[in-house]
A and B are shown apart, each in its own frame.
Chain A
Amino acid sequence: MLADFGASVVMVEPPGGSPIRALAPSGRDGTSILAAYVLANKQSVVLDIEDGGQRELVRGLIGRADVLVSSARPSTLARLGLGYAGLRQPSLIMAHVTPFGMTGDLAEAPGNDLAVAALSGWASINGLADREPLKPSGWQSSFCAGTAAYAAILAALHHRDLYPGEGQEVDVAEVEVMAAAFAPAMLGAMYSGEGRGRRKEIDMTGGPVPVADGYFALTISRAHFWRDAMNLLGLTDLAEDPRWEASYYRAAHKDEYVHRVEAAMREWNKMDLFDELAGRRVVAGPVLTMEDLAENDHLGGRGFWTKPTEGQTSIDYPGPSFRMSETPWELRNSAPSPGQHSNQMESGT
């Protein structure tokens, strides 16, 4: 994100390349797809941080940096003399992004998205009650923590803008970012006195249910959504009974309607149902696959998919997560090969 919004970001990789480059799945040329995604717009230099001489080069790079981002454990930084205090660079903003944070009894423990999903509460509410809890799909803890760390770095930059020379250290733990995202479920459990738990069954109140050609979520919030959706589905008695307009009432008596509504939904194709409900300004969600999204008219109309201006330029990459009128996101380069920019560093540019 720093690179996408204009910063010059130099990634220091060990000999053999960053471990992310070894993660499956790979594209046809054997490169890791995750690496292709998250290393875009960066420059790469290969340096062996365990080697004293090369570590001095790393310190030289840090000396020219506004921001240093590290995922190393505290003991590793201490051993290498790369802790914040040891760097003696008061204007530097150093952000740590680790699974469990830089202090406490888990600071040195191995962690990943799965462990964070478990420790943050999220796994306890994803999935079905009679099966194993589910982590969020993909790399959600990593992306959320990365985004939060980006925000924290910008907040620290803001402080430094106002108080020149005042850098600081920022500690971002994946588990704590995901706990912040879990806050509604946690306070809900406090107020209700009962665990939220996982769903006992799949029905329309909790997410997608089958329609003729796929799956579709009709998760009703406001009263008019309910009325308009029930009328469209031909369930006029449900539409007209005002008791159903209150969300707490619908939640308490769902057995009286879900089977009828789901049966009516199965008569529809997902995009037809979506178009009709959208026209009535009712929230509704067809389950879209990556194939659907690649061809999605709306994303196309927004110009979401983006080709890099340099490097691997024929591929549509995902675009920005937000659009800024004055300082737009930009995809300049596809991911560098390991050490692609080492020569530039050596020549001092």
Chain B
Amino acid sequence: MNGPLAGIRGIVLTQAWAGAFCTEMLGLLGADIVQVEVRKRPDSWRGDYHAPMAKMLQGIPTAEHPWNCNALYNSVNLNKRCITLDLQTPEGLDVFKRLLPFADVVAENFSPRVLGNLGLGYDVMKAINPRVILCSLSAYGRGGPWENVPGIGGTIEPTSGMSALLGYPDGPPMNSGQMYPDAVAGLHALSAILTALHHRNRSGHGQYIDLSMQEANLVQIGDAALEYQLTGSVRGRMGNRHHTFAPHGIFRCAGDDRWVALACESDDQWGGLCVAAGHDDWRSDPRLAMNDARKANEDALEATINVWTREWDRDALVAHLRNAGVTVAPVLTAQELAADGRLRERGVVVEVGHDEAGRWPQVASPLHFSRTPATDVRPAPLLGQHTAEVLSELLGMGRADYEQLVAEGISGMGPPD
């Protein structure tokens, strides 16, 4: 393993997206991440045990088990080893506690009661390993009246204020296309853990981190919160518009569902766009010449631009406007992103061979380090794939003891027997 975190180990209880993404990033940066899962209650992102196999995997002979072939799970659990332990059994809990001395980091995103119910609060972990850093991600954090209220990305988006800001100016509040608050929480949890590691390097002390997904997401729209505090006004939904600049939007191109994002953040950029469009008349139109006027006439401006862009092939228009110095980008679909040459050239999209699901493009680490490059990419683990390996490596456990854990249903692979 390479990367700035080589030599760091996480024994983690993360699941779904936020927690799993956080610890995946630790793994992508070089840490050894041992993810502890439970057979009788699989990670919700492994899906239902009896879910149908995804369409493109149906012809792949190794794609046998839906819980190992879920795109959601496999997308956010690169560079991990997976062990299974039933922490609700004394034996499972004991094994987990014996692993704790080997952990620099423990992370979890259960709802807040769970860790305490398991007898695994921070005090317990700290007594076993005073240097351990424990990061808890939950919907609403520790303390406060909503402490034990469960939440997921789709409900944190509305309760953090994000949904109220997302949508068309003439439409209702919306959620993102995919549970965006989880990704935000994962990035902030990663930041928290690395801050704690740096502190530990200097002080020798671990610490406890309490992350509320609601708060982490509210921080990312904190300017709207501060706007309310400073002016009393509640920001509305702005679609793709910008407070200051116009044009700033996504416009239709020729063909089916083809779109271009374009913006002018100066009158020079606008001049470049007018020349590129062959529309000197836009530059001389007093409603469009200067940014303030364009902002005041934005509906008319956008209608004018839409008439022009829809005659254009998307990619031809992007190339044309890039030459003119306009801020411009094609709206890429997921398939186009997977094929994107720039992301592949920079090693952010890479082909990853998974033991069951086959070889597919995946997103690896977006962070590039000159001295400690983090370029090692391994596929998401199968459920329970590394239990024997990890317990042998860290605890010196023999095969017979592992088989005993499996026989008792405490460990093993796949659904409960």
Contact = CB atoms under 8 A, between A and B. Distances in A.
Contacts, number: 504
Contact of A192 (B29, B54, B261): B54
A191 B69 contact: yes
B97 interface: no
A138 B333 CA distance: 21
A124 interface: yes
Interface string A40-71: 00000000000000000000000000000000
A187 B362 CA distance: 6
A144 B168 contact: no
B231 to A, nearest CB: 6
A191 B158 contact: no
A17 B118 CA distance: 54
Which of A104, A175, A281, A318 has the most B CB atoms < 10 Å from its CB? A318
B117 interface: no
A170 B183 contact: no
B209 A325 contact: yes
A185 B194 contact: no
Interface in A1-50: 1, 5, 22-25, 27-28, 33-34, 36-38
B172 A208 contact: yes
A285 B334 CA distance: 27
Nearest to A193: B56
B168 A127 contact: yes
Contact of B76 (A112, A124, A184, A222): A184
A133 B250 contact: yes
B154 A324 contact: no
A289 interface: yes
Interface residues of B, number: 161
B53 to A, nearest CB: 9
B163 A322 contact: no
B44 to A, nearest CB: 6
Contacts of A115: 261, 263, 327-329
Given A158-B201, A179-B348, A326-B205, A119 B332 contact: yes
Nearest to A270: B158
Interface stretch (B218-226, B276-284, B392-400, B408-416): B218-226
Interface in A74-105: 84, 100-101, 103-105
Contacts of B13: none
B178 A125 contact: yes
Contact of B157 (A202, A210, A217): A217
Nearest to A109: B322
B353 interface: no
A288 B161 contact: yes
Nearest to A110: B327
A287 B163 contact: yes
Interface in A113-139: 114-129, 131-139
B130 to A, nearest CB: 12
A311 interface: no
A234 B169 CA distance: 34
Contacts of B79: none
Contacts of B84: none
Contacts of A118: 250, 259-261, 329-332
Nearest to A198: B177
A189 B335 contact: yes
A171 B257 CA distance: 33
B207 A288 contact: no
A2 to B, nearest CB: 10
A310 interface: no
Contacts of B184: 140, 143-144, 147, 181
Contacts of B327: 109-112, 114-115
Given A100-B342, A159-B372, A186-B75, 20 more contacts: A25-B233, A27-B227, A133-B259, A134-B167, A136-B180, A154-B195, A155-B5, A155-B29, A179-B343, A179-B366, A183-B76, A190-B56, A190-B71, A191-B357, A207-B158, A208-B175, A215-B158, A217-B157, A283-B154, A291-B228
18 contacts: A28-B231, A33-B231, A111-B329, A114-B240, A114-B242, A126-B166, A147-B188, A148-B367, A154-B194, A158-B5, A161-B202, A176-B348, A179-B366, A191-B56, A197-B333, A199-B177, A297-B145, A298-B144
Interface of A: 1, 5, 22-25, 27-28, 33-34, 36-38, 84, 100-101, 103-106, 109-112, 114-129, 131-140, 143-144, 147-148, 150-152, 154-159, 161-162, 166-173, 175-177, 179-199, 202, 206-208, 210, 215-217, 219, 221-222, 246-248, 278, 281-294, 297-302, 304, 315-327
